[in-house]
Amino acid sequence: MNLNRIVSRLRNAGLKLTPQRELIISTLLASGGPLTAREVLKSVRKTQPRISFDTVYRNLAVLSEIGVVNRINLKVRFNSRFEIADDHRHHLVCLGCGEVRPVNLCPFQEVAVGLEKDKPFRIVGHAFEIYGYCAGCDAFRDPGPDPDRNGYTAERKRQSEAEVLKKWGGT
Amino acid sequence: MNLNRIVSRLRNAGLKLTPQRELIISTLLASGGPLTAREVLKSVRKTQPRISFDTVYRNLAVLSEIGVVNRINLKVRFNSRFEIADDHRHHLVCLGCGEVRPVNLCPFQEVAVGLEKDKPFRIVGHAFEIYGYCAGCDAFRDPGPDPDRNGYTAERKRQSEAEVLKKWGGT
DNA sequence: AGACTAATTAGTAATATTCCTGACTGGAGT
DNA sequence: ACTCCAGTCAGGAATATTACTAATTAGTCT
């Protein structure tokens, strides 16, 4: 997805192209991976120091709504991330370190068929995230002696979190 | 799902049953529908006035992690809601009014098969939410004269939001 | 180029959510 | 009943996210 294509999507939705909006889009386009709202803000302020939080959040939300941007992450431990929606995809999210791994499977088409029969509901989007632990973070977790235990150990979990926050530069 | 069953799930996970935790579970069990964290807190404080935000949030997160509670909503406009996970289900979420409508479809089983092949990733859960507009809220949106427009209209959207916030008692 | 209108923005306030620390407790084993 | 320790809690601080308002601007039509 290039800037021209994105701009035409904006126009079709009746949205304007402001310098701020263009900067946000460019930032996402230039990025190698999904960014948090804060990372976008930081980057954009290099050019427009006075851009506000609200502008960044609002634009990320709007761009998500028209399908130009993918929004990753439930309200689970880590911040939301945003990426240009080149193709439609979902993600594995590591609950240990926050790593996001793309998945090229989308279950929505099969599911959508059976909906909207009884009560009307105009569907405009969906989210599908898979949670778990990558190999590195899984090592922190104690499987325990009892096979019925699911290995939840607060202390180890906290250790893992602390290291991870360092790794991800806090927040 | 009754309290006894939930308690045994807690034990299997190595978690304790504290008065606070029991209260939170009871509140969710007694509720007719999904509750926000704030609603849970408010209800629980009738019995334990000094219970903290953190306790409520932490417990809802832990209960979600062991599958006793379903967590509903992405970081999209409305707060997260929580409900006892009687059976596994997902939800339609109205972006206009926040209404949550359960759906008895889960695409995860079919999708999960193809994963974990290349790189190891221990899956512990997933989330699937469908977004759109219910009949009532859809009426607020202007389809516009151009069929290629997707009907996004900031002014109307704001109107709708304002009314809805009143309806949902603010926040 | 000038006027008009809906969309957008900066700045700020209000919420929501998570994190941290030191004190406390449930429950398993004596 | 006593001990012990991992798990928990309350309280408060730190972040993340959303909401509001008055002023500004992009884009359309003349």
Assess whether pLDDT exceeds 60 at residue B160.
no
Query: Does residue B140 share a domain with residue B123?
Result: yes
* Least confident residue range of A77-86, A122-131, B74-83: B74-83
Tell me: do B1 and B79 sit in the same domain: yes
Tens digits of per-residue pLDDT, A141-157? 543 333 333 333 333 34
Check if A139 contacts B (Cβ < 8 Å): no
Residue A149: its pLDDT value, please? 32
The whole-number average pLDDT for the span A63-72 is: 89
Tell me the C-alpha distance between A115 and A119, whole Å. Answer: 9
Residue located via tokens 């509750």:
B35
Last residue in a domain, options B53, B86, B119: B86
HEC sequence for B118-160: CCCEEEEEEEEEEEEEEHHHHCCCCCCCCCCCCCCCHHHHHHH
Query: In this structure, are A101 and A134 located in the same domain?
Result: yes
pLDDT at B117: 62
Range of the domain at B143: 88-171
Q: Which of B61, B71, B132 is opposite residue A123, by nearest beta carbon?
A: B132
Sign of CA dihedral A98, A102, A103, A108: positive
Nearest to B120 among A12, A61, A135 (CB): A135
B86, B101, B116 - which closes a domain: B86
Spatial distance between the Cα atoms of A6 and B45, rounded to a whole number of angstroms: 49
Looking at chain B, the whole-number percentage of residues with pLDDT higher than 90 is 35
CA–C1' B154–C6 (A): 8
Helix (H, G, I), strand (E, B) or coil at A146: coil
Task: Judge if B114 and B79 occupy the same domain.
Answer: no
- Taking residues A110-135, report their average pLDDT: 76
Which CATH number characterizes residue B82's domain?
1.10.10.10
Please judge whether A152 and B120 are an interchain contact, meaning their C-beta atoms are less than 8 angstroms apart. no
Angle at B77 between CA A130 and CA B26, to 5 degrees: 70
Of the candidates B15, B62, B103, the beta carbon closest to that of A115 is on B103
Do B39 and B93 lie in one domain? The reply is no
pLDDT(A48) > 60:
yes
Same domain, B73 and B92: no
User: How far in angstroms lies nucleotide D2's C1' from the CA of residue A150?
Assistant: 31
Q: Do residues A105 and A155 both lie within one domain?
A: yes
Pair of tokens at residue B33:
């529908």
Check pLDDT > 50 for residue B3: yes
Q: Does A48 touch chain B (CB under 8 A)?
A: no
Is strand C within 7 Å of residue B57 (CB)?
yes
B22's enclosing H/E stretch is helix B19-30
Residues of A in contact with B144 (CB under 8 A): 14
Q: Looking at mean pLDDT, say which of A110-114, A120-124, A154-158, B36-40 comes out highest.
A: B36-40
Q: Does residue A165 register a pLDDT over 50?
A: no
Is the pLDDT assigned to residue A47 strictly greater than 90? yes
- A7 and A69 inside one domain: yes
Contact between the CB of B61 and strand C at under 7 Å:
yes
Q: Tell me, yes or no, whether A20 and A61 share the same domain.
A: yes
Domain CATH number, residue B157: 3.30.1490.190
Decide which of B64, B86, B108 is a domain's last residue.
Answer: B86
Strand order in the sheet with B90-94: A100-103, A90-94, A121-134, B121-134, B90-94, B100-103
Q: What residue of B is the nearest CA neighbor of A78?
A: B75
Is A158 found in the same domain as A92?
Answer: yes
Q: Are strands A121-134 and A69-72 parallel, antiparallel or unpaired?
A: unpaired
Work out the pLDDT band at A140, boundaries 50, 70, 90: low
Residues A82 and A144 occupy one common structural domain: no
Question: Cβ contact (<8 Å) for B107 and A110?
Answer: yes
CB of B146 nearer than 7 A to strand C: no
Instruction: Assess whether A139 and A61 both reside in one domain.
Output: no
Q: What is the pLDDT of residue B140?
A: 55
Domain count of the fold of chain A: 2
Please state the φ and ψ torsions of residue B17, each to the nearest 5 degrees.
-105, 105
Which residues on adjacent β-strands are paired with residue B130?
A126, B92
How many angstroms separate the CA atoms of A88 and A117, rounded? 25
pLDDT at residue B30 is higher than 70 = yes
Report the residue of A113, A126, A138, A156 to disrupt the B interface, i.e. the one with the largest count of B CBs within 10 Å.
A126
CA–CA separation, A151 vs A159, rounded Å? 15
For residue B83, list its beta bridge partners: B70
User: What is the residue-averaged pLDDT of chain B?
Assistant: 77
Q: Cα B105–B30–B24 angle (5° rounding)? A: 95
